[in-house]
Amino acid sequence: MDEPVLLTGAGGRVGQAILRGLGDEYDWRLLDREPLPAAKVPDGVTDADRYVADITDERAVREAVADVGAVIHLAGDPRKTAPWDSVLRNNIDGTQVVMRAAAEAGVEKFAFASSNHAVGGYETAERTPDLYRAEDDYRLDGSELPRPGNLYGVSKAAGESLGRFYHDEFDMSVVCVRVGNLTKDHPPREYERGQAMWLSHRDCAHLFDRCLRAEYGYEIVYGISDNDRRYYSIERAREALGYDPADNSADYTFEGEPKPDRDAEADGDRYAPESFAPDADRPANESPADPNFPADPDDA
């Protein structure tokens, strides 16, 4: 893609996974509510391409999306316990502002970070905990209706509907990625649900790379790694986007340690783990999580 890519919520966990995997691949514009320190910015991103703004600021958002070819929209309140006033402003109103600005600017592709919480209501007492285990064959594939498990999930379902509207009305390609449980070096430790929906950092970068490169109309896909234990199907992501995940939570123990017999090819360098300043360069008092809200351990 020759045109710039706007990444909102660039300082958050998903944004950093994307940038650390794809930092050299695209001409980035980065938007966040607070200034991004150098440790969070890929080489080559100038001050002019770094926007400090709230996504409900229509004027600032229109400026940020001008002349971009694609948008990856991550910004919002990531807390699964977020109150209604926050999800309404940050996740629904903010998403509407960004999508409308993108559609009116003629943006070609829009990748929206939805969430597993948009379908959390399917995890009923009758289905769990068997649902989280490899021998269970229940699958959600993206064709089911949203069934939010909390108000945060309601806001993500609303974002998916906004994406459908802007695709139909403006012919903007929109993909909604129901992100699972993102962790960097290993699956969530001693957490069945998290291991079933694990998304590694490099698979996260690869998935959003495919969102930028593939041709599609409107899609809802699940953002998890190629886990043996899973209740989200990744077949639509494979078919529509060409997603080819490298990681599998089954290659780790329940405690999150690599198994001795894990596939050595899983340690390939398709996406280098660091493409700019490493975490070691991050100030000690600076969290890698979203700087604008407290982080949940399961906030995607």
Task: Name the residues annotated as catalytic.
Answer: 152
User: Angle, nearest 10°, between helix axes 151-170 and 94-104?
Assistant: 10
Instruction: Say if residue 80 carries a ligand binding annotation.
Output: no
Report how far residue 267's alpha carbon sits from residue 282's, in angstroms, rounded to the nearest whole number: 25
What contacts 210, CB < 8 A, 6 or more positions away? 237, 241, 242, 243
152 assigned to a ligand binding site: yes
Give the single-character DSSP code of 245: -
Which residue, among 174, 73, 185, 192, has the nearest Cα to 127 in the 3D structure? 192
* ω into 297 cis (within 30 of 0): no
**Is 115 annotated as belonging to a binding site?**
yes
- Distance between alpha carbon 129 and the CA centroid of its chain, in Å? 25
Q: Is residue 222 part of an annotated ligand binding site? A: no
Instruction: List Cα–Cα distances, 283 to 48, 250, 277, 287, in angstroms.
Output: 24, 34, 12, 8
Residues paired with residue 28 on neighbouring β-strands, in sequence order? 5
Cβ-count burial of 121 within 10 angstroms (0-12 exposed, 13-18 middle, 19+ buried)? middle
Contact of 32 with 94, CB cutoff 8 Å: no
Residue 84's CB is within 10 A of a number of other CB atoms, namely: 12
Give the burial class of 112: count Cβ atoms within 10 A of its Cβ; 0-12 exposed, 13-18 middle, 19 or more buried.
buried
| Binding site listing | 90, 115, 152, 156
| Binding site listing for NAD(+) | 90, 115, 152, 156
